[in-house]
Each structure stands twice: as C-alpha cells, then as structure tokens.
Amino acid sequence: MTSQQLPERRPKLIDLNLLPPEYLPRKLSRLSIALVILIVLMLCLPVLFIFFKADVDAESDALQTKRDGLQAQLIDLYDIKRQADALQAQIDPLNSALAAIEQDYQTFIQNRVLWSEIVDEIDRILPSTRVTLKTIVQSDSKVRLTGAATRDSYIYDYATDLEESEYFSGADVTSLHTGDWTSFTMTVHLIGGGGQ
C-alpha cells in the first residue's frame, strides 16, 4: 500500500424490521400530530389565561385602591372648598367694609385740619402791634375771630393776609365798631373742610 490510506468504505444502512406488522409501531399521520399539538396548546392556554387574569386582577386592585384614595382626597378637597367658600363669603363683606373705612380714612386725612397749625398761622400773620385778638372760635369749616385794631385798614390788611394763606380760602369782616380802637368780628373759611 501507499503512504496514503484510503478511507474505509462502509455500506449504507438499511432499516429492516423483521417484526410482523401487528407488532410494528404505528406511524402517526401529520393530522394526528397537529391534533396532539392543538390539544396540548388548548390545555396550556387556560393556564396562561389564569396567569394573565391574576396579573390584570392585581393591577386592577392596585388601581382600584388608588382610585379609592383619590376619591377620598377629592371628597376632602370638596369639604375644604366648601369651607373656603364659606370663609370667603365672610371675608368679602369685611373687605368691602375695610375698603370703605380706608376710603373714609383717606378722605379724613385729606380734609383734616391741624388746629395747632391753624392757630400758629393766625398768630404768625397777626400784626402784633396793630391788631389784637380776643377769641378764636371754630365751627364746621369756618373760624370766627374777634379782636380790636388801631385802625380799620389794619383789619382789612389782616383779612387779606389770611386769604392769601394756604389754610384759608376767604375772610369776611362781618362787623366793625369804632371807638378809640376798632372792634371787629371776622369769619375765615378753611381750605379742605372741617377740623379734628
């Protein structure tokens, strides 16, 4: 032989079954195999459906619990809203009253008269050597001054000076009596209305 060896040749196997036909295993048809597979699947599907249903039930129970919790929160929020609406109904009239008070206060601040400033202004304008005051009487938005002066012209000058002041809008000399001194009664109108 040569250095190369030839592979060994074996004959093909032949499947011979020498058993009589009644002892031979029956061959299954394709239809029977399909039927067996279908039956196995039909038996497995309910088990799968049971697992799927258990998962769905678990999720459904969790969602139901969450929904119940949210429903309870919603009821609580409705209760809080009802309470808030009731409180708001109480607050609204108070806000209106507060706004009215604030407006009244602003009106008061704009129209108030500081009497110390008024008296200081009357005294500042008063020509001390020529005119003397006896009384200062306030009524509503007017001030009534009574006094005496050495001449009539000093009284009129004093009335004109009062009219030019930032506190007064006009001065009316209502009576004059002549003697050594001229007595007078003067009504002065306040700017901005009454006093405090």
Q: Which has the higher per-residue pLDDT, 61 or 27?
A: 61
- pLDDT tens, position by position, 180-195: 788 888 888 888 654 4
The structure tokens 């000399």 sit at 173
Q: What is the pLDDT of residue 193?
A: 53
* Residue length of the chain: 196
- What's the mean pLDDT when you consider all of the chain? 84
Tokens of 48: 């799968």
Percent of the chain surpassing pLDDT 70: 93
CA distance to 25, 31, 42, 47, 112, per residue, from 35 (Å): 19, 6, 10, 19, 108
CATH architecture of 115-190: 2-Layer Sandwich (3.30)
The burial of 86, by beta-carbon neighbours within 10 Å (0-12 exposed, 13-18 middle, 19 or more buried), is given as: exposed
Residue that wins the pLDDT comparison between 7 and 173? 173
Over 60: is that where the pLDDT of 163 sits?
A: yes
Q: What is the pLDDT of residue 118?
A: 81
Give the model confidence (pLDDT) of 35-88 as tens digits.
989 999 888 888 888 888 999 999 999 999 999 999 999 999 999 999 999 999
Q: Where are the domains of the chain?
A: 29-111, 115-190
For residues 130-142, give the mean pLDDT. Answer: 84
pTM greater than 0.85:
no
Residue 170: name the closest of 156, 145, 153, 190 by CA: 190
pLDDT of residue 75: 94
- pLDDT, one tens digit per residue, over 146-159 is 988 888 888 888 88
